[in-house]
Structure 1
Amino acid sequence: MMQVYEEKHFNDMLEMLEQLVNMDSGSNDKDGVDRVGTFLREAYEQIGFVSEVHENDTYGNSISLRHQDAANPDILILAHMDTVFPSGTAKERPFTVRDGRAYGPGVIDMKGSQAMLFYTMKTLMEQQNAAYKHVEIVLNSDEEVGTVSSRALIEEKTKGKKAALVMEPARENGSIVSSRRGSGRYDLDIKGRSAHSGMNPERGINAIEELAHKIIDLQGLSDPENNLHVNVGMIEGGTSVNTIAPSAKASIDVRISTASQGETIDKEIQAIARKHAVDGTEITLTGGINRPPMEWSDEVQRLVDIIQAEAGKIGLNVQDTATGGGSDASFTAAMGVPTVDGLGPVGGKQHTSEEYLVVDSLMERMALFTNVLEQLSKE
């Protein structure tokens, strides 16, 4: 493969990555996420970007950025700062590099993307390439827990944009992501009445029995041929083996491929919750579809074509793929803005102690992203 890009910032990028990985920033660690946010905000401000801090009392503060010379930027870039790892993880297994791979909490999901994105902007400015004036960046704080506090910010910043580029890591084979399934989470809470199972079982109302019927009905909603899945993933109930169960709970995961599936499945789940198999039970359903699907479209394919053409120019063969996992790309796509995800570096084993980043992919994907932004800014 012929590499036609500079490696001027390689060591600087690795140093930034090390600093980021060694800062804990689990979604529920507000102080840690804010520490990462302050670090990144100050770095961007040093190269002429103007930041706006969007404060939140529960989760970390999200940050929006645009260059001081930008006017009505029409390309949105999303990159989240939080990880899934608890405080103390960075101390237990700090950033390391072995055999061409970097390791550490959040190294690929997505602190590698943060370092790559910053040096993409710095490179564009050094090259006097005006593409940096066409972008607005959102660094959000709670993607790993469903983007509960930053979704409104993302949707607001999506308005008026011609494209959204999401910096989740590339797949392990280097593919970018052109569609994602949407998702939902529901919780079912059932109340019955306790009674001794030997002395007076007739006085009891068995919440577990009600839940058993619900599980069968819910699982039956899955339609694998149409890429729709409903999974009752967690259950609990009862107080002792010789007591009629007075309570039972279940948590349900839903994966959808189209917005219409989401509307239909929500109604079907609510209908199941309203139906009583055991007289006298009280049933409470909470939750809903919380991530719309990122659906493929002709406009998305056009973005993919641009990315693949630019990849070919620097000797990369980049494929696109669909995936079942969720990301913030769902929110921009649902607003009708063509969106492509997986534009970060290459790596894998996210959310595990073996999470890794292919070090050489940092420069490759930075070069690709730089060229893609240049092409999009000309249109």
Structure 2
Amino acid sequence: MKSYLKDQQEHMLNMLEQLVNIDSGSYDKAGVDKVGAFMKQLYQQIDFEVEEVKQEEAGNHLIIRKKNVDPTNQTILILTHMDTVFEKGTAKERPFHINGNRAYGPGVIDMKASLVSVYYAMKALLEHKKAAVEQVEILLTSDEEIGSPTSRALIEKHAQNKKFALVMEPARKNGAIVSARRGKGLYKLEVIGKAAHSGIEPEKGRSAIEELAYKIIQLYDITDEEEGIHVNVGLIEGGTSVNTVSDHATAQIDVRFRTQEQAEEIKEQIAAIMANTEVDGTKVKIEGDINRPPMEKTEQTEKLLRIIKRVGDELDIFIKDTETGGGSDASFTSALGIPTVDGLGPIGGRAHRESEYLELESFVPRTTLLAYVIDELA
């Protein structure tokens, strides 16, 4: 398989170029579905069946498996996503191109290179008549970049009874794969006060902005750097004019944490903060919740990591693992108790930015690693 995939590099790059040059931002249903149609055709050509899970607003999700295989016997779930963070028209403005040892373009590393890697890993397994291909189920989802609102239930459904979950987010810039991710919560805080002229009758006003300021300070007190708990108030709005006591103010809050136990504690702390106001006459309302559980490094994860590292050693690919604060769909499978490893895609960096890139030298080796890991796990 190693030699076979090395010979496929040019074809892999051609496929990657076609994918990168299709706009597929999370809110661009037509673009995501175009990527889906492209992938569906390719998988059908190698005798895989592709089921489309239709969506009204988001792109359609794809469920992919070898034809004529009993789904209950499939033990390995591979998670990928087709959407990017880039607006429609970005691919035309800065299409796929190669400069030196790197390939560039919108979504090139997050995660269109991984779509190619998974497809060619399947081709390699088929070419060498590996029965492992029959144990793989692949999900191509359409909304990971916006929190997986329509795909989470699908992921959790198909994760049931799986022995392993392999998530194809890109490897870290140093080549590390991801064994733990922090969980995430998003909240919107709204404060209602009473307007008044700040010069003529300020005593009649009840400042929503003042109350919001108190709440922000209290929320930041939840942060515990050593325990991996971080609260960030990223956006605030309020008031109507500089000489008016504000009657309305809002804040949007991002919360990160390492364990599910911490998540429950954070929810209790937020509820306690919102139970009272510091500025008499103001009211507060908070909406939101924990939307991604943490991906915790468990004993079962450690066992899976040892297998991947051993396979890497056999291929002369040194593998180390790390924790990261960013979210991914790995959190959903991990929370179900399924051994999960993320960051199994090729190496790259600057995801979500104009300078996003793929390290070309990692493309074939990481695809090879994936194929051999699947064979070993099966």
Superposition pairs of residues 335-374 of structure 1, within 5 angstroms:
335-374=336-375
State the SS of the aligned residue for 1:300: helix
Q: Is the 8 A contact 1:217 1:272 kept in 2?
A: yes
Determine the structure 1 residue equivalent to 2:35. Answer: 36
Measure the CA separation in 2 of the matches of 1:134 and 1:335: 20
Structure 1 residue 225, shift from structure 2 partner: 1.1
Determine the structure 2 residue equivalent to 1:314. Answer: 315
Structure 1 residue 69, shift from structure 2 partner: 3.4
Q: Is the 8 A contact 1:5 1:314 kept in 2?
A: no
Q: Is the 8 A contact 2:109 2:356 kept in 1?
A: yes
One-letter amino acid matched to 2:53: H
Structure 1 residue 360, shift from structure 2 partner: 1.8
Measure the CA separation in 2 of the matches of 1:279 and 1:59: 44
Q: Is the 8 A contact 1:179 1:294 kept in 2?
A: yes
State yes or no: 1:334 paired with 2:313. Answer: no
State the SS of the aligned residue for 2:377: helix
Determine the structure 1 residue equivalent to 2:56. Answer: 57
State the SS of the aligned residue for 1:225: coil
Once structures 1 and 2 are overlaid, which stretch shifts more, 278-287 or 336-345? Answer: 278-287
Once structures 1 and 2 are overlaid, which stretch shifts more, 127-136 or 264-273? Answer: 264-273
Q: Is the 8 A contact 2:113 2:346 kept in 1?
A: yes
Q: Is the 8 A contact 1:189 1:249 kept in 2?
A: yes
Determine the structure 2 residue equivalent to 1:302. Answer: 303
Structure 1 residue 282, shift from structure 2 partner: 2.1
Query: Which whole-Å deviations, capped at 9, do the CAs of 1:12-46 have from their partners, x for residues lacking one?
Result: 11011000000000111111111111111111111
Q: Is the 8 A contact 2:49 2:65 kept in 1?
A: yes
Determine the structure 1 residue equivalent to 2:66. Answer: 67
Query: Which whole-Å deviations, capped at 9, do the CAs of 1:191-217 have from their partners, x for residues lacking one?
Result: 111111011112211000110110110
Q: Is the 8 A contact 2:212 2:249 kept in 1?
A: yes
Query: Which whole-Å deviations, capped at 9, do the CAs of 1:266-291 have from their partners, x for residues lacking one?
Result: 11112212211112212110011100
State yes or no: 1:139 paired with 2:145. Answer: no
State yes or no: 1:115 paired with 2:116. Answer: yes
State yes or no: 1:101 paired with 2:105. Answer: no
Measure the CA separation in 2 of the matches of 1:5 and 1:49: 20
Measure the CA separation in 1 of the matches of 2:127 and 2:24: 30
Q: What's the RMSD between the two structures over aligned residues? A: 1.0
State yes or no: 1:150 paired with 2:148. Answer: no
Measure the CA separation in 2 of the matches of 1:5 and 1:15: 16
For structure 2, the residue ranges without an aligned partner over 5 or more in a row are: none
State the SS of the aligned residue for 2:117: helix
Superposition pairs of residues 1-379 of structure 1, within 5 angstroms:
6-71=5-70, 72-377=73-378
Structure 1 residue 6, shift from structure 2 partner: 4.2
Query: Which whole-Å deviations, capped at 9, do the CAs of 1:244-263 have from their partners, x for residues lacking one?
Result: 00110001110010001001
Identity between Structure 1 and Structure 2 (%)? 53
Q: Is the 8 A contact 2:5 2:120 kept in 1?
A: no
Once structures 1 and 2 are overlaid, which stretch shifts more, 240-249 or 3-12? Answer: 3-12
Measure the CA separation in 2 of the matches of 1:206 and 1:106: 44
One-letter amino acid matched to 2:314: K
Measure the CA separation in 2 of the matches of 1:83 and 1:157: 23
Measure the CA separation in 1 of the matches of 2:320 and 2:243: 58
Aligned length: 375
Structure 1 residue 70, shift from structure 2 partner: 2.4
State the SS of the aligned residue for 1:7: helix
Query: Which whole-Å deviations, capped at 9, do the CAs of 1:84-132 have from their partners, x for residues lacking one?
Result: 0000100000000110100000000000000111011011101101111
Query: Which whole-Å deviations, capped at 9, do the CAs of 1:303-354 have from their partners, x for residues lacking one?
Result: 1111111111111111111111100000000001000000000000101000
TM-score normalised to structure 2 length: 0.98
Measure the CA separation in 2 of the matches of 1:15 and 1:60: 24
Measure the CA separation in 2 of the matches of 1:43 and 1:4: 22
Query: Which whole-Å deviations, capped at 9, do the CAs of 1:130-162 have from their partners, x for residues lacking one?
Result: 111001000000000000110000000000000
One-letter amino acid matched to 1:201: P
Measure the CA separation in 2 of the matches of 1:319 and 1:131: 25
Measure the CA separation in 2 of the matches of 1:355 and 1:56: 29
For structure 1, the residue ranges without an aligned partner over 5 or more in a row are: none
Structure 1 residue 169, shift from structure 2 partner: 0.4
Runs of 4+ in 1 over 3 A off after TM superposition: 3-6
